[in-house]
Chains A and B, each alone.
Chain A
Amino acid sequence: MAASPSSAATERRGIPGAQFVEDVQTYLTQSGLDVSSALAFLQERLQQYKFVEMKLLAQQRDLQAKIPDIEKCLEIVATLEAKKNAGEALIADFEVSEGIYSRARVEDNDSVCLWLGANVMLEYSCEEATDLLQKNLQNAKASLEVLLTDLQFLRDQVTITQVTIARVYNWDVHQRRIRSTASASTDP
């Protein structure tokens, strides 16, 4: 965690950092904004953050679906290799169409075909396939890590902005109250 607000990250991968406000009065004087403009600016920032958050959450869902898929592929390739080494054929029931299954006998396979996306399927030896799948799995997990850190940063900025909005609003209410009691006490 940052030791002082000025050492906090000012932005991360395109996401602007929220400026921490030490003192509301100073903030308003320095930015030259009145209360409603400041609140409007902060609200707009919040909307932008929410928009980016939605995008990141969608990416997270995609990655979280991709990872078990890759793991399933790795399991199948491992099973095929084990069967080959044992000299046995693999008999499996697979889905031909929804609700319809058929039996397959897979014998003596040295290679598997991997779907690479974009209507491309490539044949690999079991070893190469395992390597490629492992690499994809590592990449997916690493991307997920980075994404989660981005989300964390984003959520911190959202919290800072929400707290700032509350403080500016409270400061304004406080100022109005002071002004109204001051004018009430000067009334004859």
Chain B
Amino acid sequence: MQQGAGSEMVVTWEDQLNINRFSNLNNRFHDLEDEIKAAKERNENLEDASNELILTDEEVVRFQIGDVFAHVPREEVEDRIELMKEETAKNLEKLEEEKESVLAQMAELKKVLYAKFKDSINLEED
């Protein structure tokens, strides 16, 4: 946030709270973007894994649990991966929803703050 050109700028407690809230939302937005990226990657990996499973003809697959690779029958691995894919998809959807909500709130606050402070405040990403 930048300073204005030395104008007489009155900042009320409500303005301060709005600015604080905008800052929090902005931080949350960046965290969400990182989380969404990680979730998408995880989704892709699970897709690749299940594709590989279809192609393989081995009956026993080494499935990673913790730091070891347990020998698990292929069917069980397929089920497990399906479950993990569902979970990741749900998580991703939740994150995307939260991101939309955060962006909407930020747009609202921008309107309010720019209306009061016009050029004396900068709410853009540099």
Contact = CB atoms under 8 A, between A and B. Distances in A.
A162 B1 contact: yes
A179 interface: no
Contacts of B66: 72-73, 75-76
The 10 closest A-B pairs by CB, nearest first: A173-B6, A72-B66, A166-B3, A91-B71, A93-B69, A94-B68, A76-B66, A92-B68, A92-B70, A5-B13
Size bin of chain B's contact surface: 20 to 34
**Main SS class of interface, B:** mixed
Contact of A94 (B8, B19, B69): B69
Interface of A: 1-2, 4-5, 20, 22, 72-73, 75-76, 79, 90-95, 101, 104, 152, 155-156, 159-160, 162-163, 166-167, 169-171, 173-174, 177
Contacts, number: 80
B20 interface: yes
A93 B68 contact: yes
Contacts of A5: 13, 16
Nearest to B71: A91
B100 to A, nearest CB: 21
Contacts of A76: 65-66, 68
A174 B67 contact: no
B67 A166 contact: no
Given A72-B66, A75-B66, A170-B7, A92 B71 contact: yes
Nearest to A160: B16
B11 A167 contact: yes
A160 B20 contact: yes
Given A101-B69, A160-B20, A166-B1, 8 more contacts: A2-B17, A75-B65, A75-B66, A95-B67, A159-B23, A166-B3, A170-B7, A171-B8
B54 to A, nearest CB: 22
B27 interface: yes
Contact of A174 (B1, B2, B6, B70): B6
B8 A174 contact: yes
B23 A155 contact: yes
19 contacts: A2-B17, A5-B16, A22-B13, A72-B65, A73-B66, A92-B70, A101-B69, A104-B68, A156-B24, A160-B16, A162-B1, A163-B16, A166-B3, A167-B11, A170-B7, A170-B9, A171-B8, A173-B6, A174-B7
